[in-house]
Each structure stands twice: as C-alpha cells, then as structure tokens.
A = this chain, B = another copy of it.
Amino acid sequence: MAIDRRVARTRTALYDALVRLIRQRDYDAIRVEDILEEADIGRSTFYAHFTSKDDLLRNSLERLKALLVATRSNEGLTKEAMPPGGNWGVSRTLFEHVFEFTDVQVALAGGRGAAVVHEAVDEVVADFLRETLPPQTADGVPRELALRHAVATFNTILRWWQHGKRDIDAAEADRLFRLLLLDGLPREWRDTFGRLLDGKPDGR
C-alpha cells in the first residue's frame, strides 16, 4: 500500500506554507495558527503530523538537503542561470541561486527568530559536507573543524552580502568566499589582525 495521498498533500501544504511565511516575517513571529491558515489545514490535523512548529521546520529542512545534492551537479538550476560552458562549482552555483531568488536572502536576514532558522540550515549544510568530503586530516586541522569553518565562512559572506545590499554579483561573492576560506585574510588585514591578536597597540 502506497502512502495515502491525503497525508502527502497535507504535509507538503504545510511545508510550503512555512517556507512562504518565513520569507515574509521573522520565524518566531509566526504562529501555528498562521501556518494553518496559509496552508488551509485544520488545527488537529497539524498536530497529527508534527508535534510543534520547530518539528515542522526540522522536517522541512530535509528537503533543502536534497536540493544541495542536486546542486552538486547543477541539476536544480534554471536555464538562464546555467553556466556558459561546463559546470560551476557548488559554491558558485549556490551563490547564483541566492542571486536569482532573493527569498533565501530574506530568510537569512536578521531578527530574533532568524537565528533559529540559520542554525538549522547550518546543520543541514554541515551534514551535506560530512557526507561528501573524503576522510583526511591536514596540518592538525581535523575534518569536522575544516568543514564547519567552510559552512561558517559561506554564511558570513551570504549575510554580509545581503545585509549591506552590496552591489556585487554572485561571481564576486564566490571569489571572496574562496579567498577567505582557502587563503585566509589578505596581507594588509593579516598584518592588522596579527598586531591586534599579539596584543600590540595599533598606534592610535
């Protein structure tokens, strides 16, 4: 016996409604009632499927993971945004995605409840990398740390990008991402931070 169409309909209706709402308001400014209204679903039905709003969020994010896997080979991309020749890398593709759909930017925007969404997304992306990266260790930098640093750096770029309404494009964002992740801060900043971290006054 296949899965009842009714449950499938109900669940996706709820997923979609949540995403739609997250794009509009702050996550914890969203009441369960709002979701019900948006999805046109009965109260009791909701609680028959999920135990809480957070539970719904967690389950919804499993879908994001699928998107990521697809993205690995540029599958989930619209034709317009397809690279001229050959493939882009994962990061570039993601940045293009974000560039295309401003929604994600909004979802990642500030606010109290956004932090929750943000951390949840982090977890999913980290999972993805954990499954993708080969096992190895380099110069005493453990796998898990390297991976989390990559996620953190990506999100830093993303948030900085959309927060300041920067007039740079996805390519530039990707460039900065790779620069920071792979090479660290450029020379001048290296010196500045080096001095600060060493406790030497900065001359002011």
Contacts and interface: CB of A to CB of B under 8 A. Distances in A.
A145 B119 contact: no
Interface in A158-196: 159-160, 164, 176, 178-190, 192-194, 196
Contacts of A112: 54, 116
Nearest to A175: B140
Scoring A136, A153, A182 by chain B CB atoms within 10 A of each residue's CB, the highest score goes to: A182
A156 B152 contact: yes
Copies in the complex: 2
B150 A178 contact: no
A134 B77 CA distance: 41
Chain A, interface size category, equals: 35 or more
Interface string A119-136: 100000000000011101
Interface centre among A116, A141, A149, A192 (most CB of B within 10 A): A149
Contacts of A183: 183-184
Contacts of A119: 115, 118
Contacts of A2: none
Given A115-B115, A138-B187, A145-B176, A196 B164 contact: no
Interface of A: 54, 72-74, 87-93, 112, 115-116, 118-119, 132-134, 136-141, 144-146, 148-150, 152-153, 155-157, 159-160, 164, 176, 178-190, 192-194, 196-199, 202-204
Given A139-B188, A148-B160, A149-B156, 5 more contacts: A87-B199, A141-B176, A148-B156, A181-B193, A182-B190
B184 A197 contact: no
A148 B164 CA distance: 13
